[in-house]
Amino acid sequence: MIRKPCFAILLLAGVWLVVSCKKDSNNLTNNNTTNNNTTDTAKTPVYSMVWSDEFNGTSVDTSKWVFEKGGGGWGNNELEYYQADNATVENGNLVITAKHETVGGNNYTSTRMNTLGKFSQAYGRVEARIKMPVGMGTWPAFWMLGANINTVSWPTCGEIDIMEHINADSLIHGSLHWNGGNTSQQITSTPSQYHIYAVEWNLTQIRFYVDNKLYDTENVAAVPAFRLPFFIVLNLAVGGNWPGFTIDNTLFPEKMYVDYVRVYKQTN
């Protein structure tokens, strides 16, 4: 799956890493789709938190986040119009709500937000605690893009998909994209419940976790894009090339809950 971003509006940059656990994992099973090494060959890292959003206020903190706006498919033929109005902060969670309503010629609305120009980082640990909708046509994601996207464009900037989920299945996808290649692995989980989705990233590896269970290790030593700072993106898409265009309208409004996002730097 190639999740090509479409930046109709220039935004500002940021990246994050998060680590913590409030709820137990459920029924995690490795379902790798390509040959990969899930052995963590790096020394046990020690992390110190350098950035976070705990979503404990009453609205999205715009000193940390930039809202993207518009429709037009976003490079994936998505069906939603992104706007700030669909993001709220409630009970210590960011809530992104996808609605079945017409705005800007699109039949759905949602939110896509990022940290470009606000925060970006190379290497460390980035995590978020999320629960998401499970229904035909939904596509929630927690991901990162190279902070140089506006000068080198995609895919040269690189992309790290920490968590993506589509439709009504139980699969969580972790992927990398860069100029000349991509990887994609998956693990079975319970997306409608809270889980911690994370990557740990150093000069040679990017490791993917659900609830601190390692399910994929990718060697990135030869990919220049993954040696530079990345910023963070959260969004809830409706439809598109990957989930398809069968939308269960009876389930709307659909909600994605983000308890926190945390970014750590390795100190050893």
Q: Which residues are catalytic?
A: 159, 164
Name the nearest CA neighbour of 225 among 174, 172, 268, 183. Answer: 183
User: In angstroms, rounded to a whole number, what is the distance separating the alpha carbons of residues 229 and 55?
Assistant: 24
In this structure, the chain runs to a length of 268
Query: What single DSSP character describes residue 150?
Result: H
How wide is the angle at C-alpha 219 spanned by C-alphas 149 and 169, nearest 5°?
Answer: 75
Q: How many CB atoms lie within 10 A of CB 146?
A: 28
> In sequence order, what DSSP letters do the residues of 34-75 get, joined into one string?
S-------SPPP-EEEEEEE---SSS--TTT-EE--B-TTTT
Side-chain-side CA neighbours of residue 23 (13 Å): 15
Residue 229: asked if its preceding bond is cis (omega within 30°), the reply is no
